[in-house]
Amino acid sequence: MKVNISYYLDECGWSSCWIYSDDKLYELSITHIYLECPIYECLNALIGIMEGQIERKFNWYGEPGGDQIIIREIPTDKHKVLFKVIGFSEDYGEEIGDLERFPEKVELQFEIKKIQLIRMFYFEFKKISVLMKDNQFAEKRNNDFPFKKFTEFEQIAKEYTKL
């Protein structure tokens, strides 16, 4: 498995997520200006997967467009998921629809063990939660990290992954 995920909470309402898979690097530029916090949406989807849901989808918006992330359990190998990133051009508030009907929009997809995906995101978001303790780092990122949701995720992830 050649997968790595890196998440950076930038200043002034932006994040970047870099996903490396099969010798390709894909960068997602994510805005925090809309009602849904992108980190919250990701954590919520990962919690759903850990709690046995077969599929979770969420959208990370850019300006304009964005990416839909689909995490789907593999029926023949239930300890793994298919992780898929599909680009879209719709703006926030517009109907996005079923993007999987358009395979040409798939930017990235790979199979990964659930436990490894959870651990990768856990450590990326744990890093941010620790960095947010520094006043200078947190100053321009004040409301961009969902501490309460991360605490919930952390408790479930620690039990799920035996961290």
> What is d(CA 4, CA 151) in angstroms, rounded to the nearest whole number?
23
163 pLDDT band (50/70/90 cuts)? confident
pTM: 0.95
Ramachandran angles phi, psi of 117, nearest 5°: -60, -45
Domain of 131 in residue numbering reads as 3-161
Question: How many structural domains are present in the chain?
Answer: 1
pLDDT above 90: residue 25: yes
Identify whether the C-beta of residue 64 lies closer than 8 Å to the C-beta of residue 31. no
pLDDT above 80: residue 35: no
Which residues neighbour 100 within 8 Å (Cβ) at sequence distance 6 or greater? Answer: 70, 84, 86
Q: Give the domain CATH number at 70.
A: 3.30.2450
Query: Cis omega before residue 103 (within 30°)?
Result: no
- Over residues 105-153, the pLDDT tens digits come to 999 999 999 999 999 999 999 999 999 999 999 998 978 999 999 999 9
The pLDDT of residue 57 is 96
